[in-house]
Structure 1
Amino acid sequence: MRVVQSSIALLLAALLAALLPGCAGTGPAATATGVAPVPDSAPLDPVSSPQWAADMARFAAEDAAQPPPAHPVVFTGSSSVRMWATLAEDFPGVPVLNRGFGGSQLRDATWYADEVAVRYAPQRIVLYAGDNDIDAKRSPEQVRDDFRTFVARVRRDLPGVPIAWLAIKPSPARIAQLPAQQRANALVKAEAARMRAVDFIDVATPMLDADGRPRAELFGNDQLHMNARGYALWRGVVAPYLR
C-alpha cells in the first residue's frame, strides 16, 4: 500500500510541476528563441475617417490597371509614405509597392491591412504611422497598443513576414508634440524588441539638430512634410533593412 501511495504522490507532483509554468505569471511566455510572441491586442477603435474607402478603391483600380510586383516590399501608412515619390528609385532592385494613404492613423492601417498589405503576399512590410495619431490627441500608449494590434492582424494571415516600423518623425510644424512623439517611439521600440521579425527603424534621431530640434532643411514649405533631402535621409537609414 505504501508503494502505491508513494507512486501516486510522485505522479501528482509531476503533474503539478508541469502545470506551474503556465500559471506563473500573466505575461506572454517566451518562445524557443527567447523572444516573446505578439501579446494579446486591445480592442481596436473605429477607423479615423470614412474617406479611406476611396483610397482602397483607388488601390484596387491601380492593381487592375497594372498588376503589382510579386511578393513586394510594401510601404504603407500615412502621407510620409504616400508622398515618397522616389520610392522605386531609392531602392533599385527591390520590388517596392507604395500603399500609403495620407492623413491616416495607425488603426486605419490595421482596419485596411488586407487592402494595403496582406493581399500582396509581401516579403516585408514597412509601416509609417503615429504622427497623425499624436496630432489627434491619441496618447503614446494608444499608439503602442495600436501598433501591437497591427502586428497581430498581419500575423493572423502572414505569420512569418517581417514588419518594420519607421519612427514618428519630428517636424517643425509639430514641435510641441515632440515629447509625446518620442515617448510613443520609445514604447513602440520596446514592444518591437519583444516580437519576432519586427524592427524599429529610427529615422527620427537623424532628423534632429544638435539642440534636439527638427532640422528645418529636411522639410517643405509647410514644415510638416519632407522634401527631397528628408527622403534622402530616410533612404540611407532604411536601405540596410531591405537587403
Structure 2
Amino acid sequence: MAMQSQSGFDHPITLPHGAPASCRPLNAPAAFSLVVAGLLAVFVNASPELCAQEKNISESSRNATEPELKGILSPADRGKAIARWEKEIARLERLDRTHDDPENAVMLMGSSSIRLWEDAAEMLAPYPIIRRGYGGARYSDLVVFAKRLVSPHEYRALVVFVANDITGSNADRPVDAVRKMVLHVIAVSQEHQPDAPVLLVEVTPTPSRWGVWPQIRELNAMMREIALTHPGVSFVSTAQYYLDDQDVARPELFRQDQLHQNEPGYQIWADIIRRRLDEVLGGATPPATASAKSSSQQEVSGAAIEGK
C-alpha cells in the first residue's frame, strides 16, 4: 500500500497487508514527537547512571564522603555546605591550576581573615605563603573541603584560622561538635603531609562579637587542649594582644565592621605567627626564587565578605 504525500515521508512506503494501525507511518508532527520522546526515554533511562557517576566523582575524590564524616557532620549539613560553598572552592581550585606555589611554603587556610590578608606574604617574610581562605568559613564546611584545599599543595606547615563557628547565631554548634571537626581537618593534613605541623590560630576577640566572647574562649580552650595532646599540632595564642587593660577587645585593631582586622591588627598577627613558625620549624628557609611568586600575592578577590 503506497502512502500518500501527507505522510511526511519523501518516498512512498509500503506496509505488509493487514499491518495494524500502530505500524502505519505517522504524519510529520507526530513522527517528530515520537523521535523526541524516544530520545527523552533514552536520556531518562541513562541519567541515573550518569548522575551516579558524577556524584561519585564529586563525593569520593573531591569532597569528604558521608562515611568519612560519620559522627562528625550529618549528610544534610554536608549537602548544605556543598551547595553554599562549591563555587568559592572551585574558584580556589582554579587558582591552583593557574599559579605555581612557592617552594618551602607555609599554607594559610581558613575564613575571611585569611582571604583578606593580601599582604600576608610580605608580613610573614621570609616564609613563602600559599593563601587559601574563603569568607564565612566554619569548621562544619571546612571538613567537607579540607582535602580539596590541601591536597594540591606541598607545604612545610599548615596555619588554620576559622572564626565563625560561634557567632551568637542559631547556626552555632557545641564546642564538643567543633572539636571533632578540628580533629578531622588535622587528620586530613597529616595524612597528606605527615611531617608538616598544623598551627591552630586562636579565634580573635572582636568588638562585633564581644557578646559571645565567653563561648569563643571555650572554643579556644578546646583547640589549645588539642595542641597539647596531639603530636604535630601547635596552638597560636593571640587573644591577649587584642584586649586592652580592661580585657575588652581593642576597636582600633579592626576595620569599620569591627570584625575584620585592619593593617595594625594584621601586623600583630604576623609577628605572633612568624615567631610560632620559627619555633616549630626551626627558622625559615631561604625565600623561593623570584619566578615563583607567592600565591598570596597572586590571589584575586573572592566572594563578598561573609563572616570573619
TM-score by length of 1: 0.78
The residue aligned with 2:158 is 125
Counterpart of 2:213, as a letter, is L
Q: 1:86, 1:168 → 2: CA distance?
A: 20
CA distance, structure 2, for counterparts of residue 111 and residue 83 of structure 1:
22
What residue in structure 2 maps to residue 183 of structure 1? 218
Q: Partners of 2:120 and 2:200 in 1: how far apart?
A: 16
- Show structure 1 runs of 5+ residues with no match: 1-40
Distance, in Å, in 1 between the alignment partners of 2:90 and 2:187 is 24
Change (3 A) 1:151 1:104: same
Output the CA distance in 2 between the equivalents of 1:144 and 1:234: 23
Per-residue deviation, 1:63: 2.4
Quick one: distance in 2 between partners of 1:51 and 1:90? Answer: 31
Poorly superposed stretches of 4+, deviation over 4 Å:
none
Query: What displacement does 1:60 show?
Result: 2.1
Question: What residue is the counterpart of 1:217 in the other structure?
Answer: 252
Determine which of 114, 131, 134 is the counterpart of 1:81: 114
Contact kept? 1:88, 1:96, Cα under 8 Å:
yes
Instruction: Tell me which residue corresponds to 1:44.
Output: 73
8 Å contact 2:227–2:235 — kept in the other structure?
yes
SS of residue paired to 1:132: coil
List aligned pairs for 1:84-163, cutoff 5 A.
84-129=117-162, 131-135=163-167, 136-163=171-198
1:134 is matched by which residue type in structure 2?
A: I
1:140, CA displacement in angstroms?
Answer: 2.1
CA distance in 2, matches of 1:111, 1:70: 27
1:169 aligns with 2:193: no
Aligned to 1:195: 230
Give the superposition deviation at 1:122. Answer: 1.6
Q: Structure 2 residue aligned with 1:63, among 96, 114, 117?
A: 96
- Structure 1 residue 206, shift from structure 2 partner: 1.1
Q: Distance in 2 between matches of 1:214 and 1:177?
A: 12
Q: Aligned-pair RMSD on alpha carbons?
A: 1.9
CA deviation map 1:58-95 (0-9, x unaligned): 12222222222244211010011111111011122212
The 1:70/1:51 distance shift into structure 2, 3 A limit, reads: farther
Q: Whole-Å Cα distance in 2 between the matches of residues 118 and 202 of structure 1?
A: 27
C-alpha change, 1:95 and 1:183, in structure 2 (3 Å) is: same
Give the CA deviation at 1:44.
Answer: 2.9
In structure 2, what residue type is equivalent to 1:43? I
Q: Percent identity, please.
A: 29
**SS at the partner of 1:174?**
helix
Rounded Cα–Cα distance in structure 2 between residues aligned with 1:44 and 1:70? 34
State yes or no: 1:237 paired with 2:269. no
Deviation at 1:57, TM superposition (A): 1.5
Q: Distance in 1 between matches of 2:90 and 2:165?
A: 23
Following TM superposition, by how much is the alpha carbon of 1:42 offset from its aligned partner in structure 2, in angstroms? 4.3
* Contact kept in structure 1, 2:72 and 2:177, CA below 8 Å: no
Distance 1:73 1:183 in 2: 27
TM-score w.r.t. length of structure 2: 0.62
Range that drifts further, 230-239 or 54-63? 54-63
